[in-house]
Amino acid sequence: MPTRVLVPYDGSRLSEHALEFAAERFGEAELTVLQVIDPMTAAYDAPLERPTPGFWDSWYEDARGAAEAELESAAATAAEAGADVETVVEVGDPADVVLATCEDGDYDHVVMGSHGREGLSRLILGSVAESVIRRAPVPVTVVR
């Protein structure tokens, strides 16, 4: 039975299912819910003309606030299932951050949703879950 479980969380329906699954199956383990702020998404939010001074700082503050709000909701979901969780916000490429966190935090299992994005962006940007499955040093449970 795993003792430290990492749950990548992006607020999507499938990441919520993954958190519920982890809380029910591994509720006795230390659960960490990780939200990754992907700076590449800022490029989609940037104005077509030259971004104004402070745009990036403002974008990051908004993204960090949204991540913290989603993690607060995630912690409440886990509490309903009887599990306590630690929440963490990191910045970077989601797959790389999940893998680095897994290794650095000495986790022995990852539970994640099969995908967070939908439509064309999912095809263009690739699958975080697929990358984590291929490269993770520990077992990965993918929830649909």
| pLDDT 10s digits, 72-117 | 999 999 999 889 899 999 999 999 999 999 999 999 999 999 875 5
| pTM tops 0.85 | yes
Map residue 98 onto helix, strand or coil. Answer: helix
Angle formed by the axes of helices 55-80 and 13-25, to 10°?
A: 40
Report how far residue 4's alpha carbon sits from residue 41's, in angstroms, rounded to the nearest whole number.
30
Give the range of the structural domain holding residue 65, as residue numbers without chain letter.
Answer: 4-143
Report how far residue 95's alpha carbon sits from residue 97's, in angstroms, rounded to the nearest whole number.
5
CATH number reported for the structural domain that contains residue 39 in this entry: 3.40.50.620
The total number of structural domains that make up the chain? 1
